[in-house]
Amino acid sequence: MRHQQLFSDSMFAPVPASAAAVNATSTVQVDRAVILKALTLLSSQPGVIDHIIINGFDLVWSTQGFPISAFAQVNALSSENNALIGLYPGQTAIFQTTLDAAGVIRGAWGTDDIRNDSKLAVLIDSLVNSGVEPGNVKWLFGMGRQAIGAGVTATFTATAKAPGNGPGALVADIPAGAALGDLELIDVQIGNKSQLVRQGAAPLEAFTADNFNRCGLYIGKQLANNTPVSVTVRNNSAGALPVGLGFIRTANQVAAELTALASRVGV
What pLDDT, on a 0 to 100 scale, did the predictor assign at position 236?
Answer: 97
Lowest mean pLDDT among 54-63, 108-117, 125-134: 125-134
How much is the average pLDDT of 182-193?
A: 95
Are the beta carbons of 98 and 48 closer than 8 angstroms? Answer: yes
Lowest mean pLDDT among 5-9, 46-50, 54-58, 263-267: 5-9
Is it the case that residue 1 has pLDDT exceeding 90? Answer: no
Is it the case that residue 133 has pLDDT exceeding 60? Answer: no
Is it the case that residue 9 has pLDDT exceeding 50? Answer: yes
Q: CB neighbours of 169 closer than 8 A, spacing ≥ 6? A: 80, 212, 213, 215, 217, 218, 219, 247, 248, 249, 250
* Spatial distance between the Cα atoms of 205 and 173, rounded to a whole number of angstroms: 9
- 264 SS3 class: helix
What pLDDT, on a 0 to 100 scale, did the predictor assign at position 209?
Answer: 74
Q: CB neighbours of 42 closer than 8 A, spacing ≥ 6? A: 68, 71, 72, 73, 105, 106, 107
Amino acid found at 189:
Q
Lowest mean pLDDT among 12-16, 58-62, 89-93, 255-259: 255-259
List pLDDT tens digits, range 238-259. 999 999 999 998 776 777 776 7
* Spatial distance between the Cα atoms of 7 and 4, rounded to a whole number of angstroms: 9
What pLDDT, on a 0 to 100 scale, did the predictor assign at position 222?
Answer: 87
Are the beta carbons of 89 and 7 closer than 8 angstroms? Answer: no
80 half-sphere exposure, CB direction, 13 A CA radius: 20
DSSP 8-state symbol, 191: T
What pLDDT, on a 0 to 100 scale, did the predictor assign at position 265?
Answer: 63
What pLDDT, on a 0 to 100 scale, did the predictor assign at position 4?
Answer: 41
How much is the average pLDDT of 135-162?
A: 91
Amino acid found at 3:
H
Are the beta carbons of 254 and 134 closer than 8 angstroms? Answer: no
Of 199, 197, 204, nearest in space to 170 by CA: 204
What pLDDT, on a 0 to 100 scale, did the predictor assign at position 127?
Answer: 62
Q: What single string gives the DSSP state of each residue in 34-82?
A: EEEEEEEEEESS-EEEEEEEETTEESB-BSB-EEGGGGSGGGTT-TT--
Lowest mean pLDDT among 117-121, 177-181, 262-266: 117-121
Are the beta carbons of 213 and 139 closer than 8 angstroms? Answer: no
pTM score, two decimals?
Answer: 0.86
Is it the case that residue 135 has pLDDT exceeding 50? Answer: no
Query: Which residues in 178-217 belong to E strands, given as ranges?
Result: 183-190, 193-194, 202-203
Q: What single string gives the DSSP state of each residue in 144-171?
A: EEEEEPTT-EEEEEEEBSS-EEEEEEEE
How much is the average pLDDT of 135-151?
A: 88
- 230 SS3 class: strand
CA max distance for the chain: 63
What pLDDT, on a 0 to 100 scale, did the predictor assign at position 250?
Answer: 75
Options 3.40.50.300, 2.60.120.200, 1.10.10.10, 2.60.120.510; CATH of 143-248: 2.60.120.510
Q: CB neighbours of 162 closer than 8 A, spacing ≥ 6? A: 61, 138, 225
* Spatial distance between the Cα atoms of 53 and 193, rounded to a whole number of angstroms: 31
List pLDDT tens digits, range 228-237. 999 999 999 9
pLDDT-derived band at 132 (thresholds 50, 70, 90) equals low
Of 45, 26, 51, 146, nearest in space to 99 by CA: 45
Is it the case that residue 118 has pLDDT exceeding 50? Answer: yes
